[in-house]
Amino acid sequence: MLQEPHPFSRFVAILGRGKTKQRHLTEEEARDAMRMILRGEVLPEQIGAFLMLLRLKEEAPEEIAGFARGTRETFELPAEIPQVDLDWSSYAGKRVQLPWFVLSVLALVGQGTRVFMHGTEGHTPGRVYTREVIERLGFPVAGSLHEAADQIRARNFTYVPLEVLSPTLRHLIELRPVFGLRSPVHSFSRMLNPFNAPVMMQGIFHRGFMDIHAGAARLLGQPHMAVFRGEGGEIERRPNKPTVVWTTHGDAEPVQETWPALLPEPHQAPDLEMDVDNLLRVWRGESDDAYATAAVTGTLAVTLRTMGRAGSVEEAEALARDIWQARDRDFLPVRA
């Protein structure tokens, strides 16, 4: 007895027809495919084939934008969305150095910048994930987007785990040990921007994804977005090396800038302890760590430039140092 093809099979076929016939999904096709996945209308076998075929050919900007749009449509948003200045994603985890970028973000928050941070944890063993750092520094983790809105209004900052945004995407990211590879979920989850912040920061591990993220931001109409190859794949400038930053503003062509190294030594020894409390000590000025300070101010400088608060690399570097120096060392609500 002949069976009708499954409705999702057309998306798998587009990706798997072979070198001469396969093609990228259009943005609309990607959006429709993600809608079906998130509505639970796709078989597990199809999801596995779909994600790995995407991984094999590498994602296109149209696909990343479509997946992000399809996911955004599922969010249970509060009736009144608070104004947010900066969307910050954290999906990689840190293995070699502590997540110093968290201090960059909190220095901005202390100045009144409203930040929506989102991410996930636990998909790769042996890493320090942002959620545990945020909790150690005394900030609550939002259990819903309504709670996130309240936290933004109360203290200019929220951290929202991926399972709050989409339990299905969290499940798919956790399949990494099953596949043995990252999937496109790691890429487009970074671009969900639930509260529609005008500025979005992106950190990647593989430099080949710069144009993909920049292209997706343009298709999404993101007003301002910067992407660069960050330490460990997070949004953190590596102070020992020059950093190429791609910046997009709406649908304009990306602008590429090379930011200089901030430290003379080309390499930094791995942090064997990865003691999260060192973040506290650096914030409070109890530890004079040149690498940490350079990572914090360097990341902060790129962010300020993307936000339009500095007209040049040099101006951004100087402003970042001033903000860091002027931080409120008692700002963190950490509990003993």
| 66 and 95, same domain (yes or no) | no
238 vs 261: CA distance, rounded Å? 8
For every one of its 336 residues, what pLDDT tens digit does the chain have, with 9 covering 90 and above?
A: 557 889 999 999 999 987 778 899 999 999 999 999 999 999 999 999 999 999 988 899 999 999 999 999 999 999 999 999 999 999 999 999 999 999 999 999 999 999 999 999 877 777 999 999 999 999 999 999 999 999 999 999 999 999 999 999 999 999 888 888 888 898 999 999 999 999 999 999 877 789 999 999 999 999 999 999 999 999 999 999 999 999 999 999 999 999 999 999 888 999 999 999 999 999 999 999 999 999 999 999 999 999 999 999 999 999 999 999 999 999 999 865
Task: Identify whether 2 is part of a domain.
Answer: no
Pick from 31, 49, 72: which residue ends a domain? 72
Contact 159, 31 (CB under 8 A): no
Tell me the CATH number at 234: 3.40.1030.10
Where do the DSSP E strands lie in the chain? 86-90, 115-119, 157-161, 199-204, 224-229, 243-248, 255-259
Task: Identify whether 138 is part of a domain.
Answer: yes
| 44 and 146, same domain (yes or no) | no
Pick from 72, 105, 126: which residue ends a domain? 72
Phi, psi of 101 (to 5 degrees): -60, -25
Count of other CB atoms within 10 angstroms of residue 272: 7
Domain that holds residue 42: 9-72
DSSP structure class, residue 98: -
Task: Identify whether 79 is part of a domain.
Answer: no
Task: Identify whether 1 is part of a domain.
Answer: no
pTM score of the predicted model:
0.95
172 vs 189: CA distance, rounded Å? 11
Task: Identify whether 335 is part of a domain.
Answer: no
Task: Identify whether 4 is part of a domain.
Answer: no
| 115 and 47, same domain (yes or no) | no
* Tens of pLDDT, residues 94-138: 999 999 999 999 999 999 999 999 999 877 777 999 999 999 999
| 134 and 225, same domain (yes or no) | yes
Task: Identify whether 283 is part of a domain.
Answer: yes
Length of the chain, please? 336
| 205 and 295, same domain (yes or no) | yes
Tell me the CATH number at 67: 1.20.970.10
Specify whether the backbone of 64 is left (phi greater than 0), alpha (psi in -120 to 50) or beta.
alpha
Residues in contact with 68: Cβ distance below 8 Å, sequence separation at least 6, in sequence order: 188, 191, 192, 193, 216, 220
Instruction: Count structural domains, the chain.
Output: 2
β-bridge mates for residue 87, sequence order = 116, 200
Task: Identify whether 332 is part of a domain.
Answer: no
